[in-house]
Amino acid sequence: MDIAKGDIVVRISHGKDIFFKVESVDPSTATALLRGLEIRLYADAPLSDLVKPGIGEIANFRARSLKLQAEIISQIREENMSASKKNRPDFVEIPGTVLHLDGDAEYMETCRKAYNDLQIVNTCLYIPEKDQPSKVGSLLKQHNPDILVLTGHDGTNKQLSGDDGPAHYHNSLYFTEAVRNARRYQPSKDDLVIFAGACQSWYQGLLAAGANLASSPERVLIHTLDPVLVVQKVAYTSVSRTANIEEILQQSVTGPSGIGGIETRGQFRLGLPKIEEK
> For 148-192, how does the pLDDT look when each residue is reduced to its tens digit (9 = 90+)?
999 999 999 776 666 678 888 999 999 999 999 999 999 999 999
Q: How confident is the model at residue 85, as a pLDDT?
A: 57
Query: What's the pTM?
Result: 0.88
User: How far apart are the C-alpha atoms of 54 and 269, rounded to whole Å?
Assistant: 49
Ordered by start, the domain boundaries in the chain are 8-53, 58-271
Is 126:99 a contact under the CB 8 Å cutoff? no
- Give 3-state DSSP helix, strand, coil % of the chain, rounded to 5: 35, 25, 40
Q: How confident is the model at residue 38, as a pLDDT?
A: 84
Is 3:22 a contact under the CB 8 Å cutoff? yes
For the chain, what is the largest distance between any 2 Cα atoms, rounded to a whole number of angstroms?
A: 66
Residues 6+ apart with CB under 8 A from 262: 189, 207, 212, 213, 245
Q: How confident is the model at residue 215, as a pLDDT?
A: 96
Q: How confident is the model at residue 186, as a pLDDT?
A: 98
Degrees, nearest 5: CA angle 218-221-224: 135
User: How far apart are the C-alpha atoms of 196 and 78, rounded to whole Å?
Assistant: 27
Mean pLDDT of all residues belonging to the chain? 90
User: How far apart are the C-alpha atoms of 156 and 42, rounded to whole Å?
Assistant: 8
The phi, psi pair for 180, rounded to 5°, reads: -60, -45
User: How far apart are the C-alpha atoms of 260 and 262, rounded to whole Å?
Assistant: 7
Burial classification of residue 52, based on how many CB atoms lie within 10 Å of its CB (0-12 exposed, 13-18 middle, 19 or more buried): middle
Place 86 in a pLDDT band, splitting at 50, 70 and 90.
low
Give tens-digit pLDDT for 109-163. 999 999 999 999 999 999 999 999 999 999 999 999 999 999 999 999 776 666 6
Is 33:22 a contact under the CB 8 Å cutoff? yes
Is 126:102 a contact under the CB 8 Å cutoff? yes
Percentage of residues of the chain with pLDDT beyond 70: 93
CATH classification code of 58-271: 3.40.50.10090
The phi, psi pair for 158, rounded to 5°, reads: -75, -10
Percentage of residues of the chain with pLDDT beyond 90: 65
Question: Which stretch of 4-13, 173-182, 207-216 has the lowest confidence by average pLDDT?
Answer: 4-13
